[in-house]
Amino acid sequence: MAHAFAADGEDLVAIMDDNERAVVAGLCLQVMDLVAPASVTKGEHADPFEAIVAGLGDLATDTEQGAAGVGVPDRAFGLDHDRDPALDRLFPTGNREDEQEAAEFRRFTEQGLRQRKHDGLATTVRTLESVDEDRWVVTRAQAPQVLVALTDVRLVMGERLGLRTDEDATRLEELIETLDADDPAVFALGVYDFLTWLQESLTRALTGEDEE
pLDDT digits (tens, 9 = 90+) for 187-212: 888 898 899 999 999 999 999 876 65
Q: Is residue 19 part of a domain?
A: yes
Between 158 and 4, name the one with better pLDDT: 4
Q: Is residue 35 part of a domain?
A: yes
Q: Is residue 25 part of a domain?
A: yes
The verdict on pTM exceeding 0.75 is no
Q: Is residue 79 part of a domain?
A: no
Phi, then psi, of 188 in degrees rounded to 5: -60, -45
Q: Is residue 108 part of a domain?
A: no
Q: Is residue 125 part of a domain?
A: yes
Looking at the 3D structure of the chain, how many domains does it have?
A: 1
Q: Which domain covers residue 168, as residue numbers? A: 3-72+114-211
Do the beta carbons of residue 60 and residue 160 sit within 8 Å?
yes
Q: Is residue 37 part of a domain?
A: yes
Report helix, strand or coil for 7: strand
Return d(Cα 158, Cα 27) in angstroms, integer.
13
Instruction: Give the torsion through C-alpha atoms of 10, 126, 198, 167, to 10 deg.
Output: 140
Q: Which residues contact 206 (CB under 8 A, 6 or more apart)?
A: 5, 12, 140, 143, 147
Return d(Cα 135, Cα 144) in angstroms, integer.
19
For 92-117, write each residue's pLDDT tens digit: 765 556 566 656 656 666 788 889 99
Return d(Cα 122, Cα 50) in angstroms, integer.
19
Per DSSP, what are the bridge partners of residue 12? 7, 138
Q: Is residue 47 part of a domain?
A: yes
